[in-house]
Amino acid sequence: MPDKKVVTRFAPSPTGHFHVGGIRSALFNFLFARQNNGTYILRSEDTDKERSRKEYEDEFLELFDWLGLKHDMFFRQSDRLKLYQKYIQKMMDGGFAFLSKEIPTEEGQRDEVIRFKNPNKKVTFNDLVLGDITVDTTDLGDFIIARDINEPLYHLTAVIDDFEMGVTHVIRGQEHAPNTPRQILIQEAIGAPRPTYAHLPLILNKERAKLSKRDESVPPAIEYKKMGYLPSALLNFIALNGWNPGGEQEVFTLPELIKKFDILKVQKGGGIFNPEKLEWFNREHIKLLPQEEINKNILEWLPENMRNPKIIPVVLERISKWRDVKEMAQRGELDFFFRRPEFPKKKLLFKNTSPEKISANFNQAIKALEGLNEENFSKENIKTALMAIADKLDSRGEILHPIRFSLSGLDKSPDPFIIAEILGKNETLSRLQKAV
């Protein structure tokens, strides 16, 4: 279809929580349409009356809005039943479909369905990812396309909608590749042109099995918004699963992905869904944000009683996503900034250094810090003052470890210089004097 304007579509079914793996199909359809000045359609395939739920549709609509994958047109298949009825009747009148009498083998099965009359021929189609594929459709038999005139099934509705909407490129996961021969037969029966196909590689878990909706390590897609991931990071991570742009660049914004994406560079083999790599991408995308936005998000995720702008740099160093801020606070890792820590005095000792020597070091530190004015009580000046003492000792840890512990009360905490700057001169000296 070289002379037609590019039209792509993504067609999720609102029968359950939207899976994060589906984001890639939506993204690649979006990217291909945008870079070709085409149209991107979002279509809710909600003809399964028993399983479709509006809340699931609302969920993926919220998700795509958050991700910035704005569709140009939106359709619900449940609004298009009369169109499907017209095609079913036309196919039956033309001898391409027939009412089939069935012998129910299970309770609830129908005794009549509408089947497609299979011409039993070989179908060859070109796939932009998988290459040429030939299938003998004889093995498919006369397959069902509707339960009755009012209940068309997926293969039929997808073909009719793609035809009516002018879809030029069908970009979807490889699990849909076996559906293609059936759909080509239906296209030929209704006189629809064949779109260009591109079947994307599977997304795999760490065991290199297909990523499942039941994989507990991968929550529903909307949860990534709730966990405080950046949409740009999630898109970047998903885009590079099964597609390699070449070169050294790994971090891409959405506009850069639109510019760089090449459907012909999509790989045949599946890519691994690595949560640790997603965390890395999210940290990198946080770095791209304006400082004002970083500050705003960190403060919003902190409890109200901890919203002190001074602690933002400390928090930022230790997070991969915004929810980490809340979890740090819940674990008590920030408490020492707001109340004096309590701890056993033995924690102030360092290796074999005597308590008397530790106390003497503390007193030297107190004297050095007393010499700094409040306005000059910065981490740089604090470090200079304390390192002048530490460098004369057998080990810097003799003074730095006890000071850090006296200020934070934690085995793992930021360095004592940044803590002291945030606490201020008076509180820092007070905590050191208590330690002595």
- pTM here? 0.92
* Residue 214 pLDDT exceeds 80: no
pLDDT value at residue 57: 98
Q: Are 270 and 311 in contact (CB under 8 A)?
A: no
Backbone φ/ψ region at 286: left (φ over 0), alpha (ψ -120 to 50), beta: alpha
How is 120-156 classified by DSSP, letter by letter?
Answer: --EEEEEETTTEEEEEEGGGG-S-EEESSTT-B-HHH
pLDDT value at residue 255: 97
What confidence category does residue 3 fall into, taking pLDDT thresholds of 50, 70 and 90?
low
pLDDT value at residue 2: 52
Q: Are 212 and 205 in contact (CB under 8 A)?
A: yes
What confidence category does residue 299 fall into, taking pLDDT thresholds of 50, 70 and 90?
very high
pLDDT value at residue 1: 47
Q: What is the b/e burial string over 344-370, where b = at least 16 CB atoms within 10 angstroms of the residue's CB?
A: eeebbbbeebeeebbeebbebbbebbe
What confidence category does residue 140 fall into, taking pLDDT thresholds of 50, 70 and 90?
very high
Neighbours of 109 (CB within 10 A): 10
Please tell me which residue, 349 or 214, carries the higher pLDDT value: 349
What confidence category does residue 107 fall into, taking pLDDT thresholds of 50, 70 and 90?
confident
* Residue 429 pLDDT exceeds 60: yes
The pLDDT of 177-193, averaged and rounded, is: 97
pLDDT digits (tens, 9 = 90+) for 247-277: 899 999 999 999 999 999 999 988 899 999 9
Tell me the β-bridge partners of 126: 132
Neighbours of 250 (CB within 10 A): 13
pLDDT digits (tens, 9 = 90+) for 20-75: 999 999 999 999 999 999 999 999 999 998 899 999 999 999 999 999 999 999 99
pLDDT value at residue 424: 96
The pLDDT of 121-134, averaged and rounded, is: 97
pLDDT value at residue 77: 97
pLDDT digits (tens, 9 = 90+) for 310-352: 999 999 999 999 999 999 999 999 999 999 999 999 999 999 9
Burial of 252 (0-12, 13-18, 19+ CB in 10 A): buried
Backbone φ/ψ region at 42: left (φ over 0), alpha (ψ -120 to 50), beta: beta
Percent of the chain with pLDDT over 70: 99
- Please choose, from the candidates 116, 93, 112, the residue with its C-alpha nearest in 3D space to the C-alpha of residue 102: 112
* Residue 167 pLDDT exceeds 70: yes
pLDDT value at residue 358: 95
- Please choose, from the candidates 172, 179, 103, the residue with its C-alpha nearest in 3D space to the C-alpha of residue 140: 179
What's the mean per-residue pLDDT of the chain? 95
* d(C-alpha 146, C-alpha 63), whole Å: 31
Please tell me which residue, 152 or 49, carries the higher pLDDT value: 152
- Say how far residue 360 (Cα) sits from the centre of its chain: 53
